[in-house]
Amino acid sequence: MKMRGAQIFFECLKKEGVEVIFGFPGGAVLDIYHEMPKHNIRHILVRHEQGAAHMADGYARASGRVGVCLVTSGPGATNTVTGVATAYMDSVPMVVFTGQVPTPLIGDDAFQEVDIIGITRPCTKHSYLVRNVNDMSRVIREAFYLARTGRPGPVVVDLPKDVIQASTDFKYPKKVDLPGYRPTVEAHSGQVKRAYEVLRKAKSPLIFAGGGIIISDSSQELIRIADLIQAPVTCSLMGLGCFPAGIADAKGRRRPNPLWLGMVGMHGTYQANMAISQADVIFGVGVRFDDRVTGKISEFAPKAKIIHIDVDPSSISKNVVVDVPIVGDCKNALQQLIRLFEGEPLEGVSDVRRPWFDQINAWKKGHPLTYVQGNELIKPQYVIEKIWELTGGDAIITTEVGQHQMWTAQFFEFDRPRSLLTSGGLGTMGYGFPAAIGAQMAFPDRLVIDIAGDGSIQMNIQELCTAVCNDIPVKVAILNNLYLGLPRQWQELFYEKNYTGSCMEGSPDFVKLAEAYGAIGLRANKPEEVEPVLREAFKIRKPVLMDFLVSREEGVYPIVPPGKSITEMLLA
């Protein structure tokens, strides 16, 4: 049966199980939009194409499925690039369909023509320009396969207008045949055995877990191996939630997990950063040892042998020299390791680890995360702790990027994977709100909260209209200090208090802005108003924007100054 390209587009998406497309129309893709009402795939009309990319990203991170967005050529396509790069840095499976001018006009500087393949090549897992309708179904099949396998990532498919309009017989490939692409999923047993031997001899091991645990759905394996070898666990920002911060006691009451150290790195906990520096074995699982984690690389983990599991071989020894590399899926590698330790358990491991945990507990007790909530000004940490307390931690939290992001990482105790969606690698301001909309689309009945700063939220505030028009009841908690908080803090600490360009006075009245969009706006001026505002917001089945007027010059601590070792923390 012959189909036009626009029809083939939807038949392919149905084969891939796509439920929702985040998009914005334009001339190059109007044939697809003309076809859209005939198919049972929901379309969310965004107000800016960057929002579409972040929504697809949020949908993917929350659900584990591939997120999809559709935009037109030229500026429509380029407006997605920040979202594409954000997804690429954090290994998020996403397929971005872009319209293109007709193939005879490519290269002629036609109206709204841009080389989106060339632009996105450095920040995608792969990019396709479909020049013939006969290739369309194969390309889309490959795009979804590439996006979700191996190290996941975004794939761009550029669709010229004449290809969308052309017809051919529709046939969806049953298999993907990409000779140059063979992700290593099963870890080499010899490499795993080497890791096993190193861990058996360790006196003061530390597990450093990252987003790869969440992507590979291996949280239970991580918990099991940590228990078997009695090793403390720290996470990167992307890994938060992969290991529970709290566990239930015999009476079912939640208490702090004794193996949990909190986040490591620039704004990591004192105990996590010190443990990195004193451990004799660092067991990195699904992490990439980025600079926010390592600090001064020459002084990172000076006493440790390093084991590293990663499905992407190019990540091994990229930033730190690894002693035992394991290329493979985290779940597979951990399962192999668990079998080895279950077959021959460590004898007396609790006694062996006692001096190590005594030291860790001394670090925890000596320098805990803390703040003082007075009677006059709202402390931002207090708002985050109240969100955690009132939700019982059972919410999907997204963040923008800045101080609020770091306070969320420090003071919201994540127990479950896929409960924190944040831009870790690229650090994209404006990510959190559209990502929250995407997550809410994946889980309509869950509570989804974007924790934002007054600077970040204005990057994509227009998507409040998207939430209202589509009845997406996402909540936004703005920690409003009238500053770009992290730049201000850096200016205070490292630039002689020269606050050029970081003051955000002149921002809109966020309550009135919410009302103008048709959402609910709430404000808290004093500490005693925080909890009532949150309770009111959480019971409303509509988009709600909460404006918390917080202490203006509160800082995020600990902080590792740029260029310093992660043990050289400023604690207050």
Bridge partners (DSSP) of residue 492 are none
Q: What value does the mean pLDDT take over residues 117-146?
A: 98
Confidence of residue 96 (pLDDT cuts 50, 70, 90): very high
Determine the pLDDT at residue 408.
Answer: 98
How does pLDDT run across 561-572, given as a tens digit for each residue? 999 999 999 998
The beta strand positions in 400-559, using DSSP E, are: 420-421, 448-453, 475-480, 520-524, 544-549
Q: In what order do the strands lie in the sheet with 20-23?
A: 42-45, 20-23, 67-71, 94-100, 154-160, 126-129
Determine the pLDDT at residue 157.
Answer: 98
Domains of the chain: 2-169 (3.40.50.970), 189-366 (3.40.50.1220), 380-549 (3.40.50.970)
Q: What value does the mean pLDDT take over residues 98-115?
A: 96
Q: What value does the mean pLDDT take over residues 368-380?
A: 96
Determine the pLDDT at residue 572.
Answer: 85
Residue 441 to residues 25, 519, 538, 545, Cα–Cα distance (Å): 20, 17, 17, 18
Give the residue from 544, 487, 475, 479 showing the smallest Cα distance to 507: 479
Tokens describing residue 99: 């319209």
Written in H, E and C, the secondary structure of 322-376 is CCEEEECCHHHHHHHHHHHHHHCCCCCHHHHHHHHHHHHHHHHHHCCCCCCCCCC
Question: 426 with 86: CB under 8 angstroms?
Answer: yes
Residue matched to tokens 């600079």: 291
Determine the pLDDT at residue 475.
Answer: 98
Q: In whole angstroms, what separates CA 115 from the centre of its chain?
A: 28
Tokens describing residue 12: 């392919």
**Whats the size of the chain, residue-wise?**
572
Determine the pLDDT at residue 112.
Answer: 96
The answer for residues whose C-beta is within 8 angstroms of residue 320's C-beta and 6 or more apart is 289, 294, 297, 300, 301, 306
pLDDT surpassing 90 at residue 58? yes
Stretch among 223-227, 349-353, 382-386 having the lowest mean pLDDT: 349-353
Percent of the chain with pLDDT over 90: 99
Distance CA 569, CA 503 (A): 26
Mean pLDDT of the chain: 97
Distance CA 7, CA 188 (A): 44
pLDDT surpassing 90 at residue 1? no
Question: 66 with 24: CB under 8 angstroms?
Answer: no
Distance CA 269, CA 265 (A): 8
Confidence of residue 194 (pLDDT cuts 50, 70, 90): very high
Q: What value does the mean pLDDT take over residues 310-321?
A: 94
Query: To 10 degrees, the CA torsion angle through 396, 402, 406, 407?
Result: -80
Strands 396-399 and 448-453: parallel
The answer for residues whose C-beta is within 8 angstroms of residue 56's C-beta and 6 or more apart is 22, 67, 68, 69, 83, 87, 94, 96, 438
Q: What value does the mean pLDDT take over residues 44-54?
A: 98
Q: What value does the mean pLDDT take over residues 532-543?
A: 97
Determine the pLDDT at residue 179.
Answer: 92
How does pLDDT run across 375-433, given as a tens digit for each residue? 999 999 999 999 999 999 999 999 999 999 999 999 999 999 999 999 999 999 999 99
The answer for residues whose C-beta is within 8 angstroms of residue 47's C-beta and 6 or more apart is 24, 462, 463, 465, 466
Give the residue from 35, 34, 128, 18 showing the smallest Cα distance to 69: 18
pLDDT surpassing 90 at residue 366? yes
Distance CA 537, CA 473 (A): 10
Residue matched to tokens 């109007």: 30
pLDDT surpassing 90 at residue 458? yes
State in Å, rounded, how far the first CA of the chain is from the last one.
69
The answer for residues whose C-beta is within 8 angstroms of residue 487's C-beta and 6 or more apart is 501, 502
Determine the pLDDT at residue 91.
Answer: 98
Distance CA 61, CA 57 (A): 6
Answer whether 0.95 is exceeded by the pTM. Answer: yes
Bridge partners (DSSP) of residue 67 are 94
